Amino acid sequence: MNILNLKTMNQNYIELAKQKLQNHKSKGNSSNLSIFQVAELLDVITGKKDLNFIPNTMMFNQIGLN
């Protein structure tokens, strides 16, 4: 796979994590994210989590059914 594609996929994964955290923040107590999921998202954003892999959830979220 092309390095630029991996970089783009990793950047998209980080942006998705930011969006999920923003949604969690806006929902407050009604959010369905656990403390562990929030911590993992924060690790992704801050760079503490290794992004040399693309999680299956990311790949399936990016697939269009057109």
Could you state, in order of their start, the residue ranges of all structural domains in the chain?
A: 3-62
* Entry pTM: 0.67
pLDDT digits (tens, 9 = 90+) for 19-50: 999 999 999 889 999 999 999 999 989 988 77
State the maximum Cα–Cα separation within the chain, in Å, rounded to a whole number.
41
pLDDT for residue 12 is more than 80: yes
Can you give the chain as a three-state secondary structure string? CCHHHHHHHHHHHHHHHHHHHHHHHHHHHHCCCCHHHHHHHHHHHHCCCCCCCCCHHHHHHHCCCC
